[in-house]
């Protein structure tokens, strides 16, 4: 089976000495290597503050907490569940927005109609590693005095109009899970240019402890990252440009061999953006193709290639969000169509071209 993802990691020999040092020191969490990792990311992204945490999801929860979000927050329905989960954990109501055709990012033209007196923030997502229309989002947020919390899970290394991700809005949160371009095996990064927010989040990462550790200033989480994860993250992040370059070349190869296949379209990447290439997703229109997305999914599985219906279902159609289904069903047509047509193909930074060609051959066989 060709796996849909494999984390691209450095050789174990490259981390062995640091692992042993940490093991023998007993300083196994949020210590020397976490600080080095945070410093390296901050310098590369040109952002003032980076806080490494246990996962992107915990980072989103803490980001929403630090921003004191309340009432309603506008977010895309075409995204991974963690985006909305973070709001629910903060007792905030998600307000689902449709997607923009082509990029499948949040449709900024639909946002203002969703703003009410209860709205406290907008929560855009870097869909498959492509930045949304950040300048337009910042303009809307400023106009209505709203917070801007980016779910940048798939966006580490992306740029918008030549500016690296990390410093946009109030807070950005990145994932370092095995499915991401840069993996620390598990983990996340919170970035902000606001020093007060950063200090608050550092406390929230460790339960909300006071500076002396004797009191609790806030109700936080145990969201610390281990030194072992920080070592892996640091080593991989040092190769971020090469990892992204490899993935974009693989995506280019996929598109070359699939572009003339009837019924298939690809995500549009605007000239203003540089994608991380976090996922290679095709969209299969069963009205034009010889098989539906689900039929292609089954054929690929039966013939040794793992794929993923992504993002599927759209959030407002998922069981955990069933209470929103009646309100939104049929009213977010671009997102709902994308959720029914999107199929993520195998992609990882060290993927051999021969595997790409095999996947393409299978898709052509069924379509």
Domains of the chain plus CATH, in order, are 13-97+104-237 (3.40.640.10), 240-366 (3.90.1150.10)
Query: How far is Cα 292 from Cα 78, in angstroms, rounded to an integer?
Result: 19
Q: What digits encode the pLDDT tens for the residues 94-116?
A: 999 999 999 999 999 999 999 99
For 199, left (φ over 0), alpha (ψ -120 to 50), or beta?
alpha
Report, as an integer, the average pLDDT of 199-225: 95
How far is C-alpha 69 from the geometric centre of its chain's CA atoms?
20
Q: What digits encode the pLDDT tens for the residues 150-163?
A: 999 999 999 999 99
Q: Helix H segments across the chain?
A: 13-25, 32-45, 56-66, 82-89, 108-111, 134-143, 195-205, 227-237, 240-258, 293-302, 325-328, 333-341, 353-366
Confidence of residue 206 (pLDDT cuts 50, 70, 90): very high
Mean pLDDT of the chain, nearest integer: 97
Q: Cα-flanking dihedrals φ and ψ of residue 295, to 5°?
A: -70, -40
Query: Which pLDDT belongs to residue 274?
Result: 98
* Angle (nearest 5°) at CA 8 between 344 and 339: 15
Any idea of the CA torsion for 324, 327, 330, 331, to the nearest 10 degrees?
A: -110
Query: Which pLDDT belongs to residue 172?
Result: 98
Query: How far is Cα 150 from Cα 53, in angstroms, rounded to an integer?
Result: 16
Query: Which pLDDT belongs to residue 113?
Result: 98
Query: How far is Cα 3 from Cα 8, in angstroms, rounded to an integer?
Result: 13
Query: Which pLDDT belongs to residue 292?
Result: 97
Query: How far is Cα 98 from Cα 333, in angstroms, rounded to an integer?
Result: 7
Q: What digits encode the pLDDT tens for the residues 19-69?
A: 999 999 999 999 999 999 999 999 999 999 999 999 999 999 999 999 999
The string over 321-339, giving b where at least 16 C-beta atoms fall within 10 Å of a residue's C-beta and e elsewhere, is beebeeebeeebebbbbbb
Query: How far is Cα 145 from Cα 86, in angstroms, rounded to an integer?
Result: 21
Confidence of residue 323 (pLDDT cuts 50, 70, 90): very high
CB-based contact 291:307 (threshold 8 Å): no
């Amino acid at each position: 089976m060709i796996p849909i993802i494999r984390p691209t990691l450095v050789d174990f020999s490259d981390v062995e000495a640091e692992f042993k040092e940490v093991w023998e020191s007993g300083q196994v969490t949020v210590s020397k290597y976490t600080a080095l990792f945070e410093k390296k990311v901050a310098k590369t992204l040109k952002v003032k503050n980076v806080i490494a945490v246990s996962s992107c999801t915990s980072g989103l929860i803490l980001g929403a907490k630090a921003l004191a979000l309340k009432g309603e927050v506008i977010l895309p329905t075409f995204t991974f569940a963690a985006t909305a989960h973070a709001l629910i954990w903060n007792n905030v109501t998600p307000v689902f927005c449709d997607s923009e055709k082509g990029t499948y990012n949040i449709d900024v033209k639909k946002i203002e109609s969703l703003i009410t007196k209860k709205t406290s923030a907008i929560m855009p997502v870097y869909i498959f590693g492509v930045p949304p229309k950040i300048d337009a989002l910042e303009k809307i947020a400023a106009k209505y005095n709203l917070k801007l919390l980016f779910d940048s899970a798939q966006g580490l290394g992306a740029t918008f109009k030549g500016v690296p991700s990390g410093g946009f809005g109030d807070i950005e949160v990145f994932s370092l899970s095995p499915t991401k371009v840069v993996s620390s095996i598990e983990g996340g990064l919170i970035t902000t240019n606001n020093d007060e927010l950063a200090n608050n989040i550092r406390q929230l990462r460790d339960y909300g402890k006071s500076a002396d550790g004797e009191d609790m200033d806030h109700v936080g989480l145990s969201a610390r990252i281990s030194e072992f994860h920080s070592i892996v993250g640091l080593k991989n992040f040092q190769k971020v440009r090469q990892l992204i370059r490899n993935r974009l070349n693989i995506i280019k190869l996929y598109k070359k061999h699939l572009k003339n296949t009837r019924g298939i379209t690809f995500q549009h990447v605007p000239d203003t953006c540089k994608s991380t290439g976090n996922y290679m997703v095709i969209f299969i229109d069963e009205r034009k193709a010889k098989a539906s997305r689900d039929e292609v999914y089954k054929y690929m599985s039966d013939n040794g290639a793992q794929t993923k219906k992504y993002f599927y279902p759209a959030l407002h159609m998922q069981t955990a969000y069933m209470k929103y289904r009646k309100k939104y069903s049929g009213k977010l047509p671009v997102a709902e169509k994308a959720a029914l047509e999107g199929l993520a193909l195998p992609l990882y930074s060290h993927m051999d071209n021969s595997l790409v060609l095999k996947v393409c051959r299978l898709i052509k066989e069924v379509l």
